[in-house]
């Protein structure tokens, strides 16, 4: 079992509902989202199609049952649970283990 170090990022209330924020963990930009049902997800912040560190600024919604963010650059959708790109099966971004403890968002396994 992975017992990687947990990093506290922010209060859960700092993430807008159905929105995202960027966070920096050991020099890696990650995008942390809160969906409409209150669950929190974290994936890499860099959009693989443009190379720009912008995914946290995308629109959060759903595609079918999947919670997604669409890249603000070229609009591809990424599954918030897995980082998989739903518009190109060959592309995905990292997905991170995230939890909320006492209202604080913790992330593990970056790097």
Q: Is 36 in the site for other proteins (CB under 8 A)?
A: yes
Q: Is 52 in the site for other proteins (CB under 8 A)?
A: yes
Supply φ then ψ for residue 57, to 5 degrees.
Answer: -90, 5
CB of 71 within 8 A of CB of 47? yes
Q: Is 87 in the site for other proteins (CB under 8 A)?
A: no
Q: Which lies closer to other proteins via its Cβ, residue 3 or residue 90? A: 90
| Residue 100 exposure: Cα atoms within 13 Å on the Cβ side | 15
Q: Which lies closer to other proteins via its Cβ, residue 41 or residue 67? A: 67
Residues 5-24 that bind other proteins (CB under 8 A): 9-10, 14-19, 21-24
From the centroid of its chain, how far is CA 101? 18
**CA dihedral in degrees (52, 58, 60, 63; nearest 10)?**
-70
Q: Which residues bind other proteins (CB under 8 A)?
A: 9-10, 14-19, 21-25, 27, 29, 32, 35-36, 44, 46, 48, 50-54, 57-64, 67-68, 70, 72-73, 75, 77, 83, 90-94
């Amino acid at each position: 079992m992975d017992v990687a170090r947990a990093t506290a990022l922010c209060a859960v209330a700092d993430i807008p509902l159905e929105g995202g924020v960027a966070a920096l963990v050991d020099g890696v930009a990650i995008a942390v989202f809160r969906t409409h049902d209150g669950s929190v997800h974290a994936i890499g912040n860099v959009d693989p199609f443009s190379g720009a560190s912008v995914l946290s600024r995308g629109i959060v919604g759903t595609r079918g049952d999947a919670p997604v963010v669409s890249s603000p650059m070229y609009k591809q959708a990424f599954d918030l649970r897995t980082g998989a790109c739903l518009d190109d099966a060959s592309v995905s971004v990292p997905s991170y283990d995230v939890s909320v403890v006492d209202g604080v968002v913790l992330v593990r396994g970056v790097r």
